[in-house]
Amino acid sequence: MAANKQILKKFQQILSSAFGSKDISVVFFVVAILTIIIVPLPSFMLDGMLSLSLALSILIILIGLYIKKPTDFSAFPTLLLLVTLYRLALNIATTRMILSEGYKGPEAVSSIITAFGEFVIGGNYVIGVIIFCILVLVNLMVVTNGSTRVTEVKARFQLDSLPGKQMAIDADMNAGLIDEHEAKRRRDALAQEADFYGAMDGASKFVKGDAIAGIIITVVNILGGFLIGMIEYNMSFSDSLQTFTILTIGDGLVGQIPALIVSTATGIIITRSTKGEDDNFAKDLVEQLVDNQKIVTILGAILFVTALIPSFPHGSLIFLSFVFFALAYLMGEGEKKSIFAFLGSVFKKKEEEFVPAEQKPIDIASHSAPARPQKSEEEIEREEEAIINDVLKVEVLELFLGYQLIKLADVKQNGDLIERIRGIRKKIASDFGFLVPKIRIKDNLQLSPTHYEFFLKGVKIGEGDVMPDHFLAMDTGYVGSQIEGIPTKEPAFGMDALWIEAKDKEEAIIQGYTIIDPSTVISTHISELIKQYAPEFITKDEVKKLLNRLNDVYPAIIEEANKLPTGVIRQVLQELLKEKIPIRDMLTILECVTDIAQAVQNNIPIIVEQVRTRLARTITNLFKSDDGSIKLLIFANETEHVLITKIKEQGSSSTLLLTINETQKLKDAIEESMLKVVQMGISPVILLVDNQLRRPLYEKMEQYKIDVVVLSHTELDSNVNFEIVDKPIEIDFKG
């Protein structure tokens, strides 16, 4: 007895393990398909298999109705293959049974086949053939053909739009609209959609092939059974034709009805919208069909009028009309007592004017406040803390747009502002060697409709006005005739320009104007602001990231750099970016800093000048003109000597100490020479000075907003040609 219990317990564990494992059940199903093809099945087992086929088809169409979006049923293409193969395996099994046991009568083959052959078609094989042909034609030419076409189109458009959708996700992430986790989730969903529709494009052919195979199998069964009955079992012509045709048609119906259901499920799933929905398809379908009260009422009225036409079925039409009237009534307001009053209210034109919600009178007695869930003190405190933290959070970079400019950042409206900002981040990373933080784009209804503002750490650093449906036309100096437009200032550089309509764009180009679209105007302004405030993006965290990128390739240098205070490296990088010097060559920069930092006791000005000397090739290449030479301004020897004597050491740095009169003379002389150089078409203007004078003079130029690049002799590559473009600047400090 104990031994029997042990055996039963062991057997129970095996069954529990087998049926509890989902992957084992799939393996069992595939093995069952192969078994059906090879091994002859008894009648009762064949009935069970055919019942399972019908149940699976109903299960699939129910899943298709209740899923929220097609990709929720991602296993459907593979399931379609398995179900089709299962049905074809059953066709082989039923064919074997019909041809071998059919002469004994329908009951010897299968109860389900007999039921379909006798009950569904009334035992008349002519009617059965007609019904079978109709089912096959509906399945093959209507449902399957339509589903296949929809699948092909969706797969093609899905794959064609994949690069654009991926770029849109990257643009949203770069703009700060979504984080990395959300971007990854969207990419996974996009890949899943592409895989799903690509797989469905091929899987839909299974259904079409199944329908064609059903026709061939049916013809073979009828002819083969007819000949076997007459030749092998000496059945009469009529008995053989009657018996095997009814069995074959019954078998065909048993196979084609599940096939039609699966084909319909395929059509339902593939024609669904890919957007996620809050409710399932079945609920949405019913709601969308009977959502409009007026339409349902009109339908009831049409049915009622149709019922009055002679020779029409009055009873059924009147019944349906009242069903729709009742449905419309239930959709309406509950206090309407009369159906005729209700009909009048539906079609009555509302005479009252629209009153804003805040101005509508509210009957307090008839409106009770909705019940609110009670929250604990801890939950309230957490919510308040989350709100306060959100208010206190300061984004590094933010772009606020007026409501007319929102479409420039909307990919659905062909807005390319996000893509251009993404390009800015890549360009600055390539040119200057640091990564710009994500720029979060927001709408601000308090701004003027065409106004935008750019914020750095919560402080506005730039703004401008852009006309989204116009183009900015800038005078290049070679304009022929003037064109009409709205005068404005280009926001990035403050140059005079015109806003012109799209229809005048071609004419403006012909006349020699430079045409800029609105997105480019904003993105160019942002680019210049980022370059202007570049030092502020070099935080200690950014320095750590820059060092980590080099750690695998240059571990020895990074090991030495890590011994220095992070603030020293950070200040050096900031000083370089302050004068628009790229920091891409981090290897050279770190080698120089680690070589001299301790020797000069981390004196930042000295370290920066030494780094600039090491970066001579980079600096030379940065300011080289198109002909390969560097065009320079210089001081007269005596003037430069006087300026050097004016340098005074103040702590760890040196300063150029000049009187107000001397400063004005220096400023006027440099601006006069700069004007001549600019008129020659040379930009930027470069002033070459002695090593001692470079930094103090640059600080003086920066103080007075004079846009000149100050270089020293040691910062020029010895292999480059240089050209003095104007006479040396001479200043009489004594007069």
pLDDT digits (tens, 9 = 90+) for 268-289: 777 765 554 455 555 666 666 6
What six digits make up the tokens of 462? 């730039």
Higher pLDDT, 419 or 231: 419
Residue 58, H or E segment: helix 43-66
What six digits make up the tokens of 44? 């009762």
> Would you say 441 and 483 are in contact if contact means Cβ atoms under 8 Å apart?
no
pLDDT on residue 171: 60
pLDDT on residue 681: 80
Higher pLDDT, 330 or 675: 675
pLDDT on residue 339: 47
| pLDDT higher than threshold 50 for residue 362 | no
Sign of the four-CA dihedral 18, 22, 23, 25: positive
Per-residue buried b or exposed e for 402-438, using 16+ beta carbons within 10 Å of the residue's own CB: bebbbbbbebeeebbbbbbbbebbeebeeebbbebbb
pLDDT on residue 355: 41
Q: Which tens digit of pLDDT belongs to each residue from 504-556?
A: 888 888 888 888 999 999 999 999 999 999 999 999 988 998 899 888 889 99
Partnered with residue 689 across adjacent β-strands are 712
Q: Which tens digit of pLDDT belongs to each residue from 701-723?
A: 998 888 899 999 999 888 888 88
For the range 589-595, what are the long-range contacts, defined as Cβ-Cβ under 8 Å and sequence gap of 24 or more? 589/614, 589/615, 590/547, 590/550, 590/554, 590/557, 590/558, 590/560, 590/561, 591/557, 593/561, 593/564, 593/568, 593/569, 594/557, 594/560, 594/561, 594/564
Q: How far is CA 527 from CA 115, 174, 312, 410, 458, in A?
A: 78, 15, 75, 20, 18
> Would you say 449 and 403 are in contact if contact means Cβ atoms under 8 Å apart?
yes
Report residue 475's pLDDT band, with 50, 70 and 90 as the boundaries: confident
Residue 612, H or E segment: helix 604-614
pLDDT on residue 337: 43
Nearest to 667 by CA among 629, 623, 643, 700: 700
Rounded CA gap, 625 and 644, in Å?
29
Mean pLDDT of the chain: 78
pLDDT on residue 121: 60
pLDDT on residue 610: 93
Q: What angle, rounded to 10 degrees, do the helices at 180-231 and 237-270 form?
A: 170
Count of other CB atoms within 10 angstroms of residue 697: 24
Q: Which tens digit of pLDDT belongs to each residue from 122-144?
A: 656 677 777 777 777 777 777 77
> Would you say 535 and 457 are in contact if contact means Cβ atoms under 8 Å apart?
no
pLDDT on residue 265: 78
| pLDDT higher than threshold 50 for residue 649 | yes
pLDDT on residue 186: 78
Phi-psi region of 426 (alpha: psi -120 to 50; beta: other; left: phi over 0): alpha
pLDDT on residue 569: 93
Mean of pLDDT values over 635-658:
87
Look up residue 468 and give its DSSP letter.
Answer: T
Which residues are CB-contacts of 647 (< 8 A; sequence separation ≥ 6)?
Answer: 654, 655, 656, 657, 692, 693, 696
Mean of pLDDT values over 351-379:
47
| pLDDT higher than threshold 50 for residue 652 | yes
pLDDT on residue 117: 65
Q: Which tens digit of pLDDT belongs to each residue from 424-474?
A: 888 898 889 888 888 999 888 889 999 999 999 889 999 999 999 999 998
Rounded CA gap, 470 and 499, in Å?
6
Report residue 353's pLDDT band, with 50, 70 and 90 as the boundaries: very low
Report residue 175's pLDDT band, with 50, 70 and 90 as the boundaries: low
> Would you say 209 and 83 are in contact if contact means Cβ atoms under 8 Å apart?
no
Q: Which tens digit of pLDDT belongs to each residue from 285-316?
A: 666 665 667 777 887 788 788 778 777 777 77
| pLDDT higher than threshold 70 for residue 47 | yes
pLDDT on residue 688: 93
pLDDT on residue 574: 93
| pLDDT higher than threshold 60 for residue 360 | no
| pLDDT higher than threshold 90 for residue 37 | no
pLDDT over 90 for what percent of the chain? 23
Which residues are CB-contacts of 381 (< 8 A; sequence separation ≥ 6)?
Answer: none
| pLDDT higher than threshold 70 for residue 387 | no
> Would you say 486 and 554 are in contact if contact means Cβ atoms under 8 Å apart?
no
> Would you say 542 and 442 are in contact if contact means Cβ atoms under 8 Å apart?
no
> Would you say 488 and 498 are in contact if contact means Cβ atoms under 8 Å apart?
yes
Rounded CA gap, 335 and 47, in Å?
56
Look up residue 279 and give its DSSP letter.
Answer: S
